[in-house]
Each structure stands twice: as C-alpha cells, then as structure tokens.
Amino acid sequence: MNGLRRYALVLAIYLNTRGFGFVLFEGHLSPFDWGMREIRGPRKHGRCVTHISKKFDRYLPDILVLQDTSPEGTRRAPRITYLNAAIAELAKSRGIPVYAYSRDQVRAAFDYLGCVNKESLAEVIAKKIPAFERYVPPPRKPWMSEDARMGLFDAAALALMFFYSIDGDRQAT
C-alpha cells in the first residue's frame, strides 16, 4: 500500500447516455463524495465538460480514472468516446494524471467474486462500501433501460480497478 500514500484523492468518472456518475476516493475503500449527474437537452457535451471542470476545481483530485474508450479498449458511442477524450485532455491540461481501464479489465479484476454482470458488480461494491448500499438499483427486467444509479457503481469499479492496479494485489476489493 506504499503507492497509495502518493495519491490523496482519486476521482473516477463514468460517462453514460444520461450524463455521468462519479466517485471521489480518499483511499481504497474510503469514498469522500459521489453522485450521478443527469444532463439532458442540447449541448450535452459542453455542459458535461463544465460540470466535470467544476468537480476538478472543487476537489483538486490527484488522479482521474476513466473508462478506456480507445479502439483497443471498450467500444462506446462516438459521443461518449469524444467526451471521454475531452475530459482526459482537460485533466492533463491541469496536470492531473489520467488512468483508463477497459470493461474487460474491470470484469477480470472482479471475476474471482463471481460478478457476471453489472448488477452483481454493484451488489459486491455495495457490500464492500456500505455507504453505497442504498444506491443499488433493483434487478433490471429485459424491457427496462439501465438505471441511472448504475453509473455510480461503474465509476466505483473503475476507481477500485485503479487501486488494484497500483496495489499489486490479485483482487480488486
């Protein structure tokens, strides 16, 4: 855990079609702040960047963790890929190191816990971080769209993946 002492605040952001979910960690299982931001209407891109810029100004994170939306990473909609790149550039311009992990990397890190889908991953994260228990969405039916709260757990999974990768353990939580 010596590597963790260098980074006081880790901000993980997960972009989705409705906006974004974020989690700010002080340590491996110590969330400091979290939430979901829904952005509707025209100029979603600019408003997302503005909201995330305000998060940078407010918290001054030491690390930013995003989903890898490169062609080798996770395939996402072009708007999300473009927005992800814009947020990474914003962070780099402020001197914040950016780490990105693909969906496959996150799944592999949580594989030993039997996480077969996002719902089971959310339940595992909520068990490890009790503050998130109340945000676990109900099981999704085939005709339902994904619950907006799932972005919170996707962001938390990215942050835990970061801690896993720098800690060197074989387990994400």
Give the span between the Cα atoms of 162 and 165, in whole angstroms. Answer: 5
The pair of structure tokens assigned to 61 is 């994170």
Supply the pLDDT for residue 172. Answer: 46
* Sequence-separated (6 or more) residues with CB below 8 Å from residue 81: 69
From residue 49, give the alpha-carbon distance in Å to each of 82, 97, 153.
11, 17, 21
The pair of structure tokens assigned to 51 is 């909201």
User: Which parts of the chain have pLDDT scores under 70?
Assistant: 1-7, 167-173
Give which of 145, 138, 136, 173 is closest to 16, Cα–Cα: 145
Supply the pLDDT for residue 140. Answer: 82
Residues 130-133: contacts with CB under 8 Å, at least 24 apart: 131/31, 131/34, 132/31, 132/34, 132/156
Supply the pLDDT for residue 1. Answer: 45
Question: What does the DSSP 8-state code read for residue 8?
Answer: S
Interhelix angle for 44-59 vs 78-93, to 10°?
Answer: 30
- Domains in the chain, please, with CATH? 2-167 (3.30.420.10)
CB 159 within 8 A of CB 4: no
